[in-house]
Structure 1
Amino acid sequence: MELNASLTVGKIATSLPGAAALFRRHGISFCCGGSDSIEAAAEAAGLSPQALVGELQGLVDAAATEAPDGTVDLINHIRTRYHDTHRAELISLIPLAAKVERVHGNHPDAPIGLADLLERIQSDLHSHMHREELMLFPHMERGDHQALTRPIEQMRHEHDVEAQHLAELEHATGGFHLPEGACNSWRALYTGTKKFADDLVQHIHLEKEVLFPRFHETV
């Protein structure tokens, strides 16, 4: 990933691991202000654009250390660390979100619509991951480059859909900001959903920036 100050904060936050947390620390919104460039967002937050790009570059360098060297090992890592984890976490997060909405629906900061959003994410991710596991990954493991062009293009498109879902999660939870006196269920919901969102960014980054480029001649 090549960084420059003209990239939008929305694109960076939903594709670079750790960027969302960095933006939150600096008071930069990437859901409502997601179309702002890094330069504009930095200046609005009283930061140097060059310094912010430098911090983001540190995240790019750190993200590159996670990927296993071999393609088969990387695919196995994606399956176990992300696919299996997403499936398990969403099963528990959806009813927890429904509970918080039901109990605290009158609270001005209640995450109304979060359960529905998580259900949509679950449905989209289920189809996405199933197609990867059934078709894309086996071709990659066999080195069958000729069959990869269209599947990779489709997966990239679906990554864009998930990036939009990540921005919606940020908006629905107010940046995962807990109101004063939030109950344990609300705290558990935001802790779990934030972890899920961070994992999804890492998952997308590994596929888009590491795995898919290994088959760049087909894309």
Structure 2
Amino acid sequence: MTMPFTESTLVKDIVNAQPKTSDVFKRYRIDFCCGGNIPLSKAAADLSIEMDPLMADLNEIYVNEQNDTDDMTVWTNSSSDDIIKHISEHYHAPLLEELAQLSPYVTKVMKVHGDGHPELLKVYELWYEFKKEMIEHTEKEETVVFPLLKKLDNPDVENRQEIVDYITELEKEHDHVGEILRQLREVTSDYELPLDACGTYTLVYRRIEALEGQTFMHVHLENNILFPRYI
């Protein structure tokens, strides 16, 4: 079975065609959202990644998910209204819930284990910076930008440039959030748990890592599917 992409395919286009390849890119630390507009070969070369095992892993995802069409219409063929609704329901709402639920555990782990693991103080600081940024970001999208985007389908809309400027601002915020997540992954050594990690410690690392994946998909859907329709 031949994959529908090659080494010269843009990273973002691979994820568009097969969303679950994002798991492979995350494992290899290849940025498929903010930095996904480059060929796969260049992304691999920039990180000194060997192409053969990378292509084998991507092919495995493609073969396993060949019959899985989950969310494919949302990624490629749906109207902007449907994509916005999907983002709100499947990314914004769960994100805000997880930010609220996980924060007490992040605080607890830092207080209980911080003396023995000083990196947890940095995790705590980065987490609350991430939380603040994402709450403000999602509120801006829901109350200001998404309603404005829906107006852009009207060719006579008067404030088109203002709306485009909002999109540019959101993309910069995405870059900042991506940097926070990069620092979280670095300070936790790829979320590697120490030998004395308790259940709460484990829960915090696993859930932050899972939220990282969801955030990357959220940003990818906006940066590479929704926003280009208006710029």
Asked if these proteins are the same fold (TM beyond 0.5), I'd say yes
Structure 1 residue runs without a partner (length 5+): 29-35
- Select the residue among 25, 44, 54 that pairs with 1:52: 54
Aligned positions, number: 193
The 3-state SS of whatever aligns with 1:186 is helix
Cα distance between partner residues in 1 of 2:110 and 2:143: 36
Instruction: Tell me the CA shift for residue 20 of structure 1.
Output: 5.1
Matches within 5 A, 1:1-219: 17-19=22-24, 21-23=26-28, 38-39=44-45, 41-43=47-49, 47=50, 49=51, 51-52=53-54, 55=57, 65=72, 67=75, 69-108=78-117, 110-142=119-151, 143-144=153-154, 146=160, 147-215=162-230, 219=231
Give the counterpart letter for 1:165 in structure 2.
Answer: I
Cα distance between partner residues in 2 of 1:212 and 1:63: 22
Cα distance between partner residues in 2 of 1:103 and 1:85: 27
Structure 2 residue runs without a partner (length 5+): 16-20, 31-41
Instruction: Tell me the CA shift for residue 40 of structure 1.
Output: 5.3
Q: Deviations over 1:144-180 (max 9, x none)?
A: 5625211111111111111101101101322111122
Q: Deviations over 1:184-216 (max 9, x none)?
A: 10111112111111110000000001111122x
Cα distance between partner residues in 2 of 1:94 and 1:178: 19
Distance 1:151-1:55 versus aligned 2 partners, 3 A rule: farther
Does the 8 Å contact 1:17/1:205 carry over to 2? no
Q: Deviations over 1:28-71 (max 9, x none)?
A: 9xxxxxxx95225345xxx3x35526756968x99983526121
In the superposition, the TM-score normalised over structure 2's length comes to 0.70
Distance 1:201-1:3 versus aligned 2 partners, 3 A rule: farther
* TM superposition outliers: structure 1 runs of 4+ over 4 Å: 2-5, 53-59, 61-64
**RMSD over aligned Cα, in angstroms?**
3.3
Distance 1:132-1:174 versus aligned 2 partners, 3 A rule: same
The percent identity for this pair of structures is: 24
Cα distance between partner residues in 1 of 2:58 and 2:126: 28
Distance 1:77-1:39 versus aligned 2 partners, 3 A rule: same
